[in-house]
Structure 1
Amino acid sequence: MTSTDLFLTLFNHKNKNLDELKWPGEGTFEVVLGAILVQNTNWKNVEKALTNLKNAGKDSLNGICSLENSELATLIKPSGFYNTKAKRLKTLCLAIKNEFESFENFKENASREWLISVKGVGAETCDAILAYACGKPYMVVDAYALRIMAYFDYIFESYDEAAEWFSSLDYDEIYKILDSEKFDEVEILKLYHALILEFCKENFKGKILSQNGQKILSSIKN
């Protein structure tokens, strides 16, 4: 099985249209907030925290930087682990402001090497920000992606090894079903991540794959 095989199988069995698979707030500062807040929680809790930040007028780079950690922790409390997340978010935002001055400049010029060096930013969070906030070609490998691969008995030694496997797509094959003018490498990798998320939410219960899920993947299971 190749990564392209998996992509095409998931694409051919998707139940949502392409617009429904987009990440909320793509290209905006909200992605940075969400990437930190979603750690160890679900998106509904993140939305509550984001609403608190918006209502307080603090859902911007300067807004976060102006808050004391305790104030920020109170606003993001619905996301859980709020003291830790407040520290991580404040550290990241101050680093962005000090290095790039503005979010727009960060979007254009941030590198993976720089971002992953910021305390509290792991590989998955880093790649989510680069892909969905900055529009750079990085594949986000989350627990759902690894769950699918575990079903195929694929074990990766590191996050980077997994990301390399998922990113090794045959674009000539993919462009047989997608418009190359609408889907560049960045958009395809984001779509891939979304297809994995949709499939796992619909077909996995814990680590157990449903019969429907097994049927979908049977054509590419060696």
Structure 2
Amino acid sequence: MYLENSFMLLEFLKNSGYLKNPPHKLWWPNTGEFEVILGAILVQNTRWEQAFIAIDKLRNNKLLSLEKIANMKEIELQTYINNVGFYKRKSTRIIAICQNILETFGDFDCFCVNVSREWLLAQKGIGCESADSILCYGALRDEMVADNYTYKLLRFYGYELDNYEDIKEWLVSGLLENYESVCKLYNKEIGLNELYARFHGKIVDYCKDHKEVLCQK
């Protein structure tokens, strides 16, 4: 298959049935909630399933809130997230970003309205993918996530885009340049936040189904 632009990829994935009936509208569980910040950090170098097991541990113990985690000791948080990779380092970074959110924004709602990508990237342990995940799924902003699945998929189809920002630009530009066709594909005028989130979800689901093939190249 030849991919001239990202719209062709979206069209292929949608027509192939990916994310046709997602368990969550925007694919990531509990979008618009504080837990997206935790998930974006916990999932680094870790399977999704393990990250969400850790989040559920906190939820079941009524600790899944910005304020409670900001006031936790690292050793305490570690007992709830010790199933994920680099959990000691992540406990430090999670507590730090929670404290910084409270100090800078006051609460999660204000954070969602006012946070910038630059502010997130200045936080220890937050890279481009994590920042965009938090903005797209947590703050419900119009940000596209370009993860390692996307890199592998584009490399498989002949694109040599090693830089995160270049991959993100390729994804976004093809959608914006063909936005009218995107709306026809969805039979509605779809918002960019929903579009970017669902496109990302389709890419991840497709890559999981074709992991062995994509890793061969």
What is the TM-score normalised by the length of structure 2?
Answer: 0.91
Aligned residue among 142, 145, 151 for 1:140: 145
Structure 1's unaligned 5+ residue stretches are 210-222
TM-fit CA distance, 1:57: 2.0
Partners in 1 of 2:140 and 2:86 — Cα distance? 28
Structure 2's unaligned 5+ residue stretches are none
Question: Partner of 1:135: helix, strand, or coil?
Answer: coil
Aligned residue among 10, 18, 32 for 1:7: 10
Counterpart of 2:180?
172
TM-fit CA distance, 1:175: 0.7
Amino acid paired to 1:10: L
Amino acid paired to 2:215: K
2:202 equivalent to 1:195:
yes
Counterpart of 1:20?
23
Tell me which moved more, 2-11 or 126-135.
Answer: 2-11
Amino acid paired to 1:175: C
Question: Partner of 1:208: helix, strand, or coil?
Answer: coil
Question: Partner of 1:20: helix, strand, or coil?
Answer: coil
Aligned residue among 91, 94, 101 for 1:96: 101
Question: Partner of 2:161: helix, strand, or coil?
Answer: coil
Partners in 2 of 1:15 and 1:132 — Cα distance? 19
What is the TM-score normalised by the length of structure 1?
Answer: 0.89
- 1:1-222 equivalences under 5 Å are 1-20=4-23, 22-168=27-173, 169=175, 170-181=178-189, 183-205=190-212, 207-208=215-216
Partners in 2 of 1:44 and 1:110 — Cα distance? 28
Partners in 2 of 1:187 and 1:157 — Cα distance? 26
Amino acid paired to 2:5: T
Amino acid paired to 2:126: V
Partners in 2 of 1:197 and 1:80 — Cα distance? 20
Amino acid paired to 2:143: Y
State percent identity of aligned pairs: 35
Tell me which moved more, 72-81 or 12-21.
Answer: 12-21
Is the Cα–Cα contact under 8 Å of residues 57 and 63 in structure 1 kept in the other structure? Answer: no
Is the Cα–Cα contact under 8 Å of residues 74 and 82 in structure 1 kept in the other structure? Answer: no
Q: What RMSD in Å do the two structures reach over aligned CA positions?
A: 1.5
CA deviation vs aligned residue, 1:153-175 (integer Å, no higher than 9, x gap): 21224211111111111111111
CA deviation vs aligned residue, 1:65-124 (integer Å, no higher than 9, x gap): 110111111211112211011011111111111110100110111111111111110000
